[in-house]
Structure 1
Amino acid sequence: MFDLSIGIPTYQRPDLLKRLLKSIITQKDITQYFIEILIGDDSKVNNEGSLNEVIVTLPSNIVIRYEHHQPAKGQNANVGSLISRATGKCFCLMHDDDFFLDGSINRLLDKATENENYIVFGKQVTYNNNFDYPNSDSVNTDFKRNASFEGKQKDSIAMAMLQQCPNDGYILLTEHAKAIGSRLEEEIGTACDFDFALRATVEYHLGFYFINEYTTAYNISDDSVTSSFQNNAGERKLKILYEFKTNITHPNVFHQVLKTDLSMVISHYIIVKDYNAAKKYLFSFNNFFKYLWYKPATYLQIGKIAFFS
């Protein structure tokens, strides 16, 4: 049996995928674990041949299982397929443009096997041809990833709401990952990472275990899902929070989320020209005076709605 299955959804980025693969197979002390790397490729062409330069360097304890999808599955279904294919004791999701820092897999996997009812993760460093540690320190602190939160979290639902668990590079038991699964885009849009972490805590009662070390690099690129015009994660995140009644169970944390996210949700509705939805949130008396009146963007949003709707 494999110790770890690493699932990688990929689309049109073979060079970045190879960088990620190399970050796995060159890990310090990686030979003590048996690892399967599962690739779900939604690219227009089959890229398996381009991976030969990596495959020929594989140590005997690591295998790559490549699957090309025609037609493409889409991000959510691709992740779900990777989880269902996993045969290792533990599972790790990793997006194709991110990569592991040296020695991180060992540290994450050791903690995951010691804490079987937890999702284990560390800090992400942003990468755009260079590592940006000063800015990453600040970003990780914003997401409750610093020394104050090291170890097991007291309230993992609250931490899931605040997105303490990163979008990838976390490890949990595969049996838990299979139980949680990946809901389809029709249900949750592009918020699949947030949805997975929240449901893990709310529905499956898993905890969060934070390692106060940099474990993965988060790639900054123009074609990432995060920066995509089609990204509706903020809007769907709010719906998911209401779905699981976190506004009732964790009202103070829900208030924090609205302070940071509500303006972004309104902007999304304006971009996709759903002006009625934008008005619903923007012209709510409670929303306006609690979360919006002091933000300059609010008055730009009012102007756009008045002009275009």
Structure 2
Amino acid sequence: MTITTRVSICLPTYNRPDLLIRCIESCLAQTHSNIEIVIGDDSPDTHTGHLIARRFAHDARIVYRRNVPALGQARNVASLFERASGDKILLIHDDDFLLDTAIERLLAQWALHPGIEAAFGKQYEADASGRIDQAASGRMNRAYHRTAAAAGLQRLAGRTGIVQMFPNNGWLANAALVKRIGYGAGDNEQFAVCCDFVFGVRLCLAARDVCYVDEYVSCYRKTAQSVSQATRLTPGASSLAAWRFLEALTLPPELEPARRLALHRLVPIVVSLLARNRQARAGLNLALTHLYAYRFGLSVRLYYHLLMIWKSAWLARQSAPAQRFENDEQGVNVTRTRVP
């Protein structure tokens, strides 16, 4: 199976040619060689395409397409899934990269557990230069429940996606399932910023069985340009969108504990975001209705966030008179412009 199974590596990119080359090289270095690398380029110019042509012109495994006009992340990935011709699909983003044995290790799980539809492993965390941070990697995987105790078939496949155990990339799944689920936020644009998470949840909810391999298979690079980093303190933060998605999700009773566990991690982050963005009342309501996320008042973090909420409300009150004055002044100016 390791030899005959064709794997489509789907690789979306946007204006990061140097990082993309490192990612492509990690794909070409796979010990499982029966692959295609399907690239969707949203870059505003042809530099990335020319660089790929110079470096990899004679490698038939690379299938490159520049999107004109650009599709955006969700539609770009969706188009890659549609173009993929392999039996299995793996997603990797252009600033991340695979370990050489990633596909071989993941693909081996189908021989051990023939009924599975998806497999994934641990991720390294690296800085912008690609230097791996071992301590941060350990913390990240523990936070997402990727531990030795969790290895093997997951008892509830849907739980794997809900608690974000399923990673944003570096996973391997049956192409038929991936194509059926599709990618993106559907008609709800507020979830677009967390489309990796939305896809992971939907895929795991639909999968018959999911397997976790307690080995590192990919590397997640933290850069200032990533969506999660660029928006993390704004009203458009991915964590806020993920919380809204989880709140709205219809789940069977056996998965409600998974939702609660996921919200336990997300709620304090969202309360902090709401306070930072002067949405004090929303932040207070969320904190008080999800006190379990603060150990029912035993967490110091709760009182710090209440202080943030108080400061947010105070700043809002202070800015209100100034805003009214500014609006009045604008009204006067508009009136004056109408006088001949």
Tell me what 2:248 maps to. 243
Deviation at residue 250 of structure 1 after TM alignment: 3.1
> Is the CA contact (8 Å cut-off) linking 1:20 and 1:96 kept in structure 2?
yes
Equivalent AA in structure 1 for residue 230 of structure 2: S
> Is the CA contact (8 Å cut-off) linking 1:2 and 1:36 kept in structure 2?
no
Deviation at residue 68 of structure 1 after TM alignment: 1.2
Q: TM-score, normalised by structure 2?
A: 0.80
Deviation at residue 269 of structure 1 after TM alignment: 4.0
How do residues 131-150 of structure 1 correspond to structure 2 at under 5 angstroms? Answer: 131-150=132-151
How do residues 137-286 of structure 1 correspond to structure 2 at under 5 angstroms? Answer: 137-184=138-185, 186=189, 188-202=191-205, 204-229=206-231, 231-246=236-251, 249-270=254-275, 275=279, 279-284=281-286, 286=288
Distance 1:74 1:137, change over 3 A: same
Deviation at residue 2 of structure 1 after TM alignment: 7.0
The more displaced of 17-26 and 178-187 is 178-187
| Residue 41, structure 1, aligned to residue 46, structure 2 | no
Q: How many residues align?
A: 299
Distance 1:24 1:272, change over 3 A: same
Deviation at residue 200 of structure 1 after TM alignment: 1.6
How far apart in 1 are the matches of 2:86 and 2:102?
18
Q: Deviations over 1:55-114 (max 9, x none)?
A: 1463xxx51111112222111111111111111110011100000112112111232475
Tell me what 1:70 maps to. 68
Q: TM-score, normalised by structure 1?
A: 0.87
Kindly name which structure, 1 or 2, has the bigger radius of gyration based on alpha carbons: 2
Q: Give the number of the structure with larger relative contact order, counting CA–CA contacts within 8 Å between residues 6 or more apart.
A: 1
Tell me what 1:120 maps to. 119
SS in structure 1 of the partner of residue 228 of structure 2: coil
How far apart in 1 are the matches of 2:199 and 2:209?
13
Instruction: Give 1 or 2: higher helix fraction.
Output: 2
How far apart in 2 are the matches of 1:235 and 1:250?
21
Gaps of 5+ in 2: 318-340
SS in structure 2 of the partner of residue 87 of structure 1: coil
Tell me what 1:22 maps to. 25
How far apart in 1 are the matches of 2:70 and 2:273?
25
Identity of aligned residues (%): 27
Equivalent AA in structure 2 for residue 9 of structure 1: P
Q: Deviations over 1:227-256 (max 9, x none)?
A: 012653222222222332349543333332
How far apart in 2 are the matches of 1:25 and 1:97?
16
SS in structure 1 of the partner of residue 203 of structure 2: helix
SS in structure 2 of the partner of residue 164 of structure 1: coil
Deviation at residue 268 of structure 1 after TM alignment: 3.7
Distance 1:17 1:141, change over 3 A: same
Q: Deviations over 1:240-296 (max 9, x none)?
A: 2233234954333333222221122234445566x3xx5234235742643355311
Equivalent of 2:14 in 8, 11, 15: 11
Distance 1:169 1:249, change over 3 A: same
RMSD between superposed Cα atoms in Å: 2.5
> Is the CA contact (8 Å cut-off) linking 1:8 and 1:82 kept in structure 2?
yes
> Which of structure 1's runs of 4+ aligned residues deviate more than 6 A?
none
Distance 1:304 1:187, change over 3 A: closer
How far apart in 2 are the matches of 1:81 and 1:282?
41
Distance 1:78 1:153, change over 3 A: same
Gaps of 5+ in 1: none
The more displaced of 236-245 and 289-298 is 289-298
